[in-house]
């Protein structure tokens, strides 16, 4: 409807101003009803270049407008706005459109926008997902759904950081718990993973492999500097350094003592964490097409290859024994190390290989959904891509800000250390999946989120999830009261509609395709949540203004139910984009 009107305007402008070049035609739905159904400020924009006053130009455009069955009137208002009023039949045509193909309403042809990869969550598989990851998951999943709906061919990917030190630390932590369960007593390192799940994995290790990994305490700590005594008067930096050195020595010692068994434990720990993570996300309605392993980049030699390529291109140099990438030559604020003095590649090196690999897969666009704390990392990745000859503008990084939990008005304290964090699983169990998914996307992603647990769990009118779901349930309640077949509703006489609240509802309904498309281009699932609230509000208003079922007027009843049912279908569609269910009863 909007695009048709846009074409009419374009034709009119071509006639009124033959020599002008017009970009996008501004066309908005005014807030105020007396400004019509659509308004355009195009005359104001073109007036200057055309050298005449805006109202005059608006008049010319109006007169050049092709005849159309959808427009009832076109007025010139204010400084030169063109206000369009639609015919009643045009206004309610949306109802028939929705009923004819409910799944397709607002959906754009698959692949019409090109292909896109969305990488999100990608948390280290070193422990359960917490509420921060939950936001990334909810955002990324909703965004992916939206992009798919708006015509992108979407691939959802989880990058698994299965290489590197954090995984080693988890493996050691598990092994140390295993040892202590077998009465080998050692001081547990403060930078080890301390959650209960580590102990559980240690028990599983015993169940699968018995006592075959037991070593003595002296063997394990041989060559370790030990954990600094808390009473020692050394500064925090020194203490930190010694703790890290102790951990490195433990890892080294574990690898030496266990030999092949180390790889077995490592693999088992990783598999267990990934399975848990996958299940957790699935229960949250978040499913990935691809789980991409960081380790595979090392195994296939891609990391070494990409570093070699940068070297051939002359973008590397050696300083202080380490290999540096000249990222400052490509927009980064300083150069970055890709290979450490000890010969080990940095995380950045594998990330370059990963992004190079992704670009090689031929996506038109690549999205990395990252926590906002990683924003400083963007320039160096882009720098690497540019250096490798890629078009870095194809990479977009939507940032997701932090989440704070509130219960009864008080902030829930969380710290990743000591495993004192609220997990996504706990959140889901407390609020339910629907509330969690909806609350997560109720705020702009680049805005810090205060997640109000009391509100999310309240079964009251304060809860915005219920507000939308209730509108959907209400429609079905009315439909079942009516008792007819909803398939018949397509043939209703929509010309019987026309009250103020009916017009308003149809108007919001017709906005859905634009809202979905805009939300996709803005990477802004939150605007769908807001749209759904608007739609529910328009429905509730309609519901209260007059009964849908009028006993002595079956035709009017059918027309009104057609409007109500199409509303329910769009509510369901919109909620499904956000991963929220649409119950028929509440």
Taking the least distance from each CB to RNA, the nearer of 208 and 411 is 411
Q: Closest separation between CB of residue 83 and RNA, Å?
A: 5
Q: Per the structure block, which two tokens stand in for 29?
A: 């739905």
Angle at which helix 165-181 crosses helix 196-209, to 10 degrees, equals 70
Taking the least distance from each CB to RNA, the nearer of 262 and 348 is 348
Taking the least distance from each CB to RNA, the nearer of 181 and 242 is 242
Q: Closest separation between CB of residue 39 and RNA, Å?
A: 3
Taking the least distance from each CB to RNA, the nearer of 52 and 337 is 337
Q: Closest separation between CB of residue 240 and RNA, Å?
A: 8
Give all strands of the β-sheet with 449-452 in edge-to-edge order: 410-411, 403-407, 449-452
Express the helix, strand and coil content of the chain in percent, nearest 5 each.
55, 15, 30
Taking the least distance from each CB to RNA, the nearer of 24 and 236 is 24
Q: Closest separation between CB of residue 132 and RNA, Å?
A: 12
Measured CA angle at 417 (ends 416, 421), to 5 deg: 35
Taking the least distance from each CB to RNA, the nearer of 179 and 349 is 349
Q: What is the DSSP string of 253-298?
A: HHHHHHTHHHHHHHHHHHHHHHHHHHHHHHHTT---SEEEEHHHHH
Q: Closest separation between CB of residue 218 and RNA, Å?
A: 28
Tell me the three-class secondary structure of 529-548, residue by residue: HHHHHHHHHHHHHHHHHCCC
Q: Closest separation between CB of residue 567 and RNA, Å?
A: 13
d(CA 220, CA 179): 10
Q: Closest separation between CB of residue 449 and RNA, Å?
A: 7
Taking the least distance from each CB to RNA, the nearer of 233 and 483 is 483
Q: Closest separation between CB of residue 541 and RNA, Å?
A: 4
Taking the least distance from each CB to RNA, the nearer of 12 and 179 is 12
Place of tokens 């400052």: 328
Q: Per the structure block, which two tokens stand in for 209?
A: 């492999």
Q: Where are the alpha helices (DSSP H) in 393-525?
A: 424-431, 433-440, 453-457, 464-482, 500-521
d(CA 410, CA 502): 42
Tell me the three-class secondary structure of 87-104, residue by residue: CHHHHHHHHHHHHHCCCC
Taking the least distance from each CB to RNA, the nearer of 164 and 190 is 164
Answer whether 188's CB lies under 8 Å from 237's CB. no
Q: Closest separation between CB of residue 542 and RNA, Å?
A: 8
d(CA 93, CA 510): 9
Q: What is the DSSP string of 388-432?
A: TT--GGGEE--EE--EEEEETTEEPP-BTGGGBS-BHHHHHHHH-
């Amino acid at each position: 409807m909007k695009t048709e009107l846009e074409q009419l305007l374009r034709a009119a402008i071509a006639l009124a101003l033959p020599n002008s070049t017009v970009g996008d035609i501004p066309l908005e739905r005014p807030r105020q009803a007396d400004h019509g159904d659509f308004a355009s400020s195009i005359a104001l924009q073109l007036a200057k270049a055309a050298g005449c006053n805006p109202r005059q130009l608006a008049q010319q455009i109006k007169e050049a407008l092709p005849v159309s069955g959808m427009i009832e009137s076109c007025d010139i208002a204010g400084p030169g706005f063109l206000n369009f009023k639609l015919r009643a039949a045009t206004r309610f045509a949306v109802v028939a459109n929705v009923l004819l193909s409910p799944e397709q309403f607002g959906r754009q042809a698959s692949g019409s926008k090109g292909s896109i990869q969305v990488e999100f969550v990608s948390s280290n598989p070193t422990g359960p997902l917490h509420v921060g990851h939950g936001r990334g998951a909810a955002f990324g999943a909703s965004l992916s759904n939206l992009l798919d709906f708006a015509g992108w061919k979407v691939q959802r990917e989880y990058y698994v950081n299965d290489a590197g030190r954090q995984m080693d630390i988890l493996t050691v932590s598990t092994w140390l718990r295993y040892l202590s369960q077998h009465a080998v007593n050692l001081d547990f390192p403060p930078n080890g993973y301390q959650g209960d799940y580590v102990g559980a994995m240690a028990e599983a290790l015993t169940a699968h492999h018995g006592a075959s990994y037991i070593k003595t305490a002296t063997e394990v700590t041989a060559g370790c500097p030990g954990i600094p005594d808390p009473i020692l008067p050394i500064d925090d930096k020194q203490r930190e350094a010694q703790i890290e050195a102790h951990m490195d020595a433990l890892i080294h010692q574990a690898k030496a003592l266990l030999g092949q068994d180390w790889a077995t434990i490592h693999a088992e720990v990783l598999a267990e964490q990934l399975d848990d993570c996958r299940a957790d996300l699935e229960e949250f309605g978040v499913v990935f097409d691809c789980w991409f392993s960081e380790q595979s980049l090392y195994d296939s030699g891609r990391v070494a290859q990409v570093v070699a390529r940068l070297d051939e291109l002359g973008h590397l140099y050696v300083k202080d024994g380490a290999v540096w990438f000249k990222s400052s030559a490509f927009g980064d604020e300083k150069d970055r190390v890709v290979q450490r003095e000890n010969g080990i590649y940095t995380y950045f090196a594998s990330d370059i290989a990963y992004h190079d690999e992704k670009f090689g897969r031929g996506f038109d666009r690549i999205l990395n959904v990252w926590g906002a704390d990683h924003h400083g990392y963007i320039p160096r990745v882009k720098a690497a891509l540019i250096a490798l000859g890629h078009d870095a503008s194809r990479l977009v990084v939507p940032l997701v800000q932090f989440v704070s939990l509130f219960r009864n008005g008080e902030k829930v304290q969380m710290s990743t250390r000591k495993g004192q964090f609220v997990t996504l699983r706990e959140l889901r169990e407390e609020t339910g999946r629907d509330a969690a998914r909806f609350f997560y996307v109720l705020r702009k992603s680049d805005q810090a989120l205060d997640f109000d647990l009391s509100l999310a769990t309240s079964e009251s009118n304060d809860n915005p999830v219920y507000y939308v779901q209730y509108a959907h349930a209400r429609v079905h309640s009315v439909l079942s009261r009516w008792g007819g077949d909803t398939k018949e509703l397509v043939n209703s006489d929509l010309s019987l509609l026309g009250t103020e609240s009916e017009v308003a509802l149809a108007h919001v309904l017709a906005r859905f395709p634009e809202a979905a498309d805009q939300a996709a281009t803005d990477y802004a699932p939150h605007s769908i949540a807001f749209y759904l609230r608007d739609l529910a509000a328009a429905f509730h208003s309609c519901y209260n203004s007059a009964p849908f079922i009028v006993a002595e007027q079956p035709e009017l009843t059918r027309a009104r139910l057609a409007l109500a049912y199409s509303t329910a279908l769009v509510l369901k569609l919109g909620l499904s984009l956000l991963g929220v269910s649409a119950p028929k009863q509440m």
